[in-house]
Structure 1
Amino acid sequence: MDPVKPVPEDRAAEPLTEYVQRVSRRVRAFDRRRPLVWDLHLTGLWVLAALIDASGGWRNVAHDPDVPIGLVLALSLALSVPLLWRRSHPQVALLVTLPAALVNAWSGAALQAALLQLLLVHHIALRLPLRNLWWAVLVVIAPTCVTVARYGDSAGSWNQQVGSQILSVGVATLIGITVRTRRDYTEALEDRARRLETERDQQGRLAAAAERARIAREMHDIIGHNLSVITGLADGGRYAAARSPERAAQALDAIATTSRQALGELRRLLDVLREEDQHGTQAAELAPQPSLTDLDQLLDGVRRAGLPVRTTVQGRATLPEGRQLTVYRVIQEALTNTLKHAGPGATAHIDLSYETGGAVALTVTDTGRGGPATAPSDGRGLPGMRERTSLYGGTLEAGPRPRPERGWRVHLHLPEESPQ
């Protein structure tokens, strides 16, 4: 005997509630696309039911079975056809059925089609302000009062007839208000979901813009500095080529070393943009960002490019990685600008001071002939330094040194770390 094969999940019998919800969604979607078709079908159904009752069943409950059949048919149509406008103009439809309902009550036909007025009351409660329910209740109860007044005890007691009608109107009204409340609540949830989705997309775009700015800032720091060092080395090697071939060879070696370092840093920066590979492992082998421990290597490269640099360090402290990166990048950018714009014979001085509470003060000065304002710039250097500084609530000042001194001055101050 063959074993019984399990039924796939997508072919398993779906729960009844899910099936009903799926059918309901399809019906509502069809209704939104073709409301007139849906109204015509439902109105035709109620008209057919009214005509079936008018074919003879109405006499079972009529107070006067001898009402002319022509009047019965006319009343049946007058009470059912206005349902076509039950959604667009429920008030008008209810007023149109009022004369037929009064004639139905006075003649004693007591057609069941008069109950269709409750459907119009339901739509008034569903679609219009609730203050419209008062007169709608009066319109529906008026025919009942006519029936009791004309036929007396044969129609039943006053309390029984009017109370039963008020109860019916209350049920129709309550159903309409319940459906309306649920619909409004659903629309509010959908609107909130749309706003949250819009806000999420906006946050995603802002995050992407911030990431692009961060990457551009890092690329500027890496490429700009290393190219400035390479330019300085190339210029020095050109002058040394004729007089000292050994110095020229050293300059070429330094250019090659600096180029490899720049390419390595740039490759690591670009690798972090790659998505995870098909095995779920990170494609890039991430390396730590530079810190103040790498400052000596940075200064060696600048000195090989022909810029003498002196350093003064006061105090000692262990800074978080983010603060170290900020100080490192500011020093790197300041020395890069000096290499670009200070001219031959310039020197630079770095004064780094660790203060209490994790505060840092940094001053980078040079003795050159100018600064970033004296030559064309891509506009990323100083803004990038200020952006890094603002992350930690610090201040950055950059400008010419006061006379009679020459050169450029960059001053950074990072305040104390805020307590967690």
Structure 2
Amino acid sequence: MSRTRSRSDSIREDEELRLPRAPGLFRRFWARHPLFADILLALICLFLSLAPAAPYPDTSVPEGTYIALNIATVAMVAIGCSTLIWRRRAPLGPFLAAVILGTVGLFTGMSGGIVLLLVACYGVAVYRSARLAWICYGIGAAWFLGFTTVLMLTGATVLQVGLDTALGYVALGLIGTLVGVNVGERKRYLLAIIDRSRQLLIERDQQAQIAAASERARIAREMHDIVSHSLTVIVALSEGAAATPDREQARKAAASAADTARGALTEMRSMLGVLRDDESPLPLAPMQPVPARDTVETAQRAGYPATLTVVGQAEVSPAVAHAIGRIVQEGVTNAMRHAPTAKTIAVRLEYTTATVTIEIVNDGVTGEVGSDGFGVRGLSERAAHVHGTVRSAPAGGGRWVLRAVLPTSGTAPAARRETMEDDG
């Protein structure tokens, strides 16, 4: 069973688009009942066609033949007008019926198809296209004028009757075509505007969904980095405080754990405060970047052999500064979590005029370390966001290397952009 769009679906779309109601009570009624409108139009056309369709009385024709001719004429006109019921789906049917009735009228003197031709030309223009309407009208006009000329030259019809019949069909066909082209083009133009509005509405909803998904991913990365790093440090400090017999060292470890927890709470409050602010949209700029030095010092306070080396100096965009801080934070946190026996956790930042290279090496990996967690995914997303690259893999001898290369401006390098344009 094929799915069809219900009337309620169309109403909901129209309400979403805020479309105005169609003007006029009768116009809205015809739009809601197209079959009834077509049947009524066929009856009106039949009524207007029957009077001129009847042949003139001819005393030389037997009465029986005259009656049979009348019946045949009425039947032909009725069949021709009945084709108007299908004028929306098959508008060429009424046009062919009108041409046939007009051709017969050239021999019998009737003009029952003249009204039908007017409506048929209008229907072709409205329900098909203006081009097809003009083609049909041109063929019909050429047929009537050419065939009438042949009949008049051969004496098969009277000059006046032939001219009146042919010119009547040509004139009314032209009127129907002109009106139909005007109405049809306006109708198609409005439908195109409405269809484009629906497409824009769909695109707006899709863009909103994409933006919401991107924002959820950004918040998930931030929450992961804040919670993961802070809890790892707090766990390490708490275990150290519980294991040491020195009360002073235990007190310092507990104080450092509390400071780390307060810092995490401050960052979380800042993020949640942004989410709860209903008066302004979520900012596109990243949160305040976490300095790499603070991350290393926090790891040192937790008892890990972390070091920081900075080579060079360059101005970087806020997005790149934020990415640097989070990548260092995630790399150090992973080393603290997965390499607790590491003798060194070396963090190296190398700045050039074009790029920033981040390298975090630890030598405490003793087993296979998975690379499918949220942290690794977040690192890849952060690097890709500023058009950088990141790689995290073992380097042999129990060493694990996290290496990221980011452009200082946060945009793709010029050579890469030119290559992409050439490929496109």
TM range (shorter): 0.7 to 0.9
Letter in 1 for 2:115: L
Residue 181 of structure 1 pairs with residue 185 of structure 2 = yes
Aligned to 2:393, the other structure's residue is in SS state strand
In structure 2, what is the equivalent of residue 224 of structure 1? 228
How far is 1:168 from its partner? 2.8
Equivalent position of 1:6 in the other structure:
none
Gaps of 5+ in 2: 1-19, 418-424
Deviation at 1:112, TM superposition (A): 6.5
Q: CA deviation at 1:50?
A: 4.5
Q: Give 1:333 shift.
A: 0.8
Report 1:7-406 matches (<5 A): 21=23, 23=25, 26-27=28-29, 29-31=31-33, 35-50=34-49, 53=51, 75=73, 78-79=76-77, 82-86=80-84, 87=87, 88-96=89-97, 101=102, 106-108=107-109, 110=110, 114-127=114-127, 129=132, 131-133=135-137, 135-137=139-141, 152=158, 155=161, 158=163, 162-240=166-244, 243-274=245-276, 276=278, 280=279, 289-291=287-289, 294-344=291-341, 346-355=343-352, 357-370=353-366, 374-375=368-369, 379-403=373-397, 406=398
1:334 Cα deviation after fit: 1.0
Q: Is the contact between residue 105 and residue 146 of structure 1 (CA under 8 Å) also seen in structure 2?
A: no
Sort the Cα spacing of 1:79 and 1:140 in 2 relative to 1 into closer, same or farther, 3 A: farther
Deviations 1:57-94 (A, max 9, x none): x99xx976989896668645643553232204444445
How far apart are 1:239 and its partner, in Å?
0.3
- Post-superposition offset of 1:107: 4.9
Structure 1 residue 244 displacement after superposition: 1.9
Q: 1:135 to 1:377 in 2, by over 3 A?
A: closer
Secondary structure at the aligned position of 1:21 is classed as coil
Q: Which moved more, 1:251-260 or 1:229-238?
A: 251-260
| Deviation larger for 210-219 or 183-192 | 183-192
| Residue 412 of structure 1 pairs with residue 404 of structure 2 | yes
Deviation at 1:343, TM superposition (A): 1.7
CA contact (8 A) 1:312 1:352 kept: yes
**Segment drifting more, 342-351 vs 67-76:** 67-76
TM-aligned CA distance change 1:189 to 1:311, over 3 Å: same
Shift of 1:223: 0.8
- Secondary structure of 2:258's aligned partner: helix
CA RMSD of aligned residues (A): 4.0
Aligned equivalents of 2:157, 2:286: Cα separation in 1: 97
Contact 1:290 1:328 in 2 (8 A): no
CA contact (8 A) 2:387 2:406 kept: yes
Using the TM superposition, give the Cα deviation of residue 378 of structure 1 relative to its aligned residue in structure 2, in angstroms. Answer: 6.0
Aligned residues: 379
Q: In the superposition, relative to structure 1, how do residues 274 and 85 fare at CA in structure 2: closer, same or farther (>3 Å)?
A: farther
Shift of 1:300: 2.9
What is the CA deviation profile of residues 223-253 of structure 1, one whole-angstrom value per residue up to 9, with x for unaligned ones?
A: 110111011011101102xx22332233222
- SS of the residue corresponding to residue 276 of structure 2 reads coil
**2:9 maps to what in 1?**
none
Q: Deviations over 1:83-128 (max 9, x none)?
A: 23220444444555666556655555x5566433322233344445
User: For 1:108-166, what per-residue CA distance to the aligned partner results, in whole angstroms no more than 9, with x for missing partners?
Assistant: 5x55664333222333444454555555446666896699656636648x4x6644542
Helix, strand or coil for the counterpart of 2:387? coil
Equivalent residue of 2:36, what SS? helix
Find the aligned partners of 1:192 and 1:120 in 2 and give their Cα distance.
Answer: 30
Contact preservation (8 Å) 2:344, 2:363: yes
How big is the shift at 1:341? Answer: 1.3
Give the unaligned 5+ runs of structure 1. Answer: 1-17
Alignment identity in percent?
29
CA distance in 2, matches of 1:99, 1:364: 89
How far did 1:270 drift?
Answer: 3.0
**Alignment check: 8 A CA contact 1:50 1:77 kept:** no
Distance, in Å, in 2 between the alignment partners of 1:82 and 1:302 is 92
Instruction: Output the amino acid matched with 1:269.
Output: M
TM-score by length of 1: 0.73
Once residues 266 and 351 of structure 1 are traced to their aligned partners in structure 2, the CA distance between those partners, rounded to angstroms, is 28
> Structure 1 residues 93 and 315 mapped into 2: Cα distance closer, same or farther (>3 Å)?
closer
